[in-house]
Amino acid sequence: MTENINKIQTGIENSGVEDATATAIEEDSGWIKSKRYLYWTSMVLPGVPILSAFLASETGNGLWLWSLLFAWYAILPVLDHFLGLDSANPSDELVEELGKDRYYVYIMYGATVAHWLAIIYVGYTIATVDFSWFNILGASLSVGLSNGLALVAGHELGHKVNDKGQVFAAKVILACSGYGHFFIEHNKGHHKDVATPEDPATSRFGESIYKFVQREVPGAFRRAWELETARLHRLGKSEWSFSNEIIQPALITIAAYTLMLAYFGPIMIPFLAIGAAFGWWQLTSANYIEHYGLMRERAANGRYERCQARHSWNSNQKASNLVLLHLQRHSDHHAHPTRPYQVLRDYPEVPALPYGYPTMFFVSFFPSVFYSLMNPMVINWAEGDMNKVNIDPDVKDEMMKRYHNPKVAKAA
């Protein structure tokens, strides 16, 4: 597989390429092109809570409302396990060809509409049909998961800052869970500070997800607000203006949530609050595992080295890569933040998680299990030199004492 990828990267038109490799590449580009239709998943998944709300009201069985939650944490990990890894990488020619194809952008526009429909339709259903509190919780969490997927699509759209249409769609879809500040914080903040102790969206070695979220959510918002304020001041405007791109999507959220509250009643308060919070939790989960413990080295002048492929955790599982728009090919995303999802590449020798993101999200609920899985991998990544690891300062002494041993690497 590795060899195959290397050949693709060196260009497929080399005269010396054997027939077998040529066939493999043809199969690969066939698969890459057929994924064109599989990306409809991004519009179909928000259809799951819609369909399940419909079935719940038709059959009277409120357990249907849990569907998307079940699909995410139970079905997708199983699919990942059986469908395995996606060895196909687009060639330079395909990157050129598919990267420009607007078709893939229209799917994101479709997803933007579908995610709002999911919130509205499920909200309408629980407001008009009598379900138990337990199943209303299921509906809220399912919409929360859908909101998490909306953040993935919003992430994709929000990187395309030179395209007004995509930026507008990013604001609309990020507003699903009231997280419109994300594209500013992520593009200008996270991408700049990634894998450093300064980044609120990079998790530290020995930091549980429950501790991380308390640093991440407020830290990300503060950074977004500062960046946006600085931009508006350069323009000679106040941060309290309609030009503020944090306020714009916030107004979409406030307007939509207020209308739902007015039409569907007070049940919308817990429903929308849980849905938004659980959407944020999905983003927190992704941020938690994407750079856990990894740290860029600091040069003598105090500047961090440029973000390298080795500073992100990747997963190359076929199923979850489709659902997550290749977000799991995370090293390539950080190398080329504007590269569209359909042409992101996997690289051999990049840090790889043992499972796809959905499974890892579930594992991260249990810090001791997460540590037992990931800590040895981080130590191995740093070759036993814990000075190279981004460690939570609260446990730093303990972790240094327990794991620091740079000689291990040299002996091996």
Partner 1 sequence: MKKYECPDCGYIYDEAIGAEHEGYPAGTAFKDLPEDFPCPDCFVREKPDFVEQSS
Residues that bind partner 1 (CB under 8 A): 161-162, 187-188, 191-192, 231-235, 306-307, 334-338
Q: Shortest approach of partner 1 to residue 234 CB, angstroms? A: 3
Task: Retrieve residue 21's tokens.
Answer: 């490799």
CB nearer partner 1, residue 303 or residue 410: 303
CB nearer partner 1, residue 7 or residue 190: 190
CB nearer partner 1, residue 310 or residue 402: 310
Distance CA 113, CA 148 (A): 15
Q: Shortest approach of partner 1 to residue 287 CB, angstroms? A: 17
CB nearer partner 1, residue 235 or residue 269: 235
CB nearer partner 1, residue 1 or residue 235: 235
How many H helices and E strands in the chain?
21, 0
Q: Shortest approach of partner 1 to residue 45 CB, angstroms? A: 28
Q: Shortest approach of partner 1 to residue 230 CB, angstroms? A: 8
Distance CA 179, CA 104 (A): 23
Beta partners for residue 317, in sequence order: 85
Q: Shortest approach of partner 1 to residue 86 CB, angstroms? A: 25
C-alpha closest to that of 69 among 149, 141, 176, 150:
141
Residue 173 to residues 1, 114, 349, 384, Cα–Cα distance (Å): 37, 9, 34, 43
How many residues would you count in the chain? Answer: 412
H/E run at residue 93: helix 92-99
Q: Shortest approach of partner 1 to residue 189 CB, angstroms? A: 9
Distance CA 100, CA 105 (A): 9
Distance CA 303, CA 297 (A): 9
CB nearer partner 1, residue 7 or residue 311: 311
Distance CA 288, CA 361 (A): 9
CB nearer partner 1, residue 164 or residue 401: 164
Residue 220 to residues 23, 184, 189, 217, Cα–Cα distance (Å): 46, 10, 8, 5
Q: Shortest approach of partner 1 to residue 186 CB, angstroms? A: 9
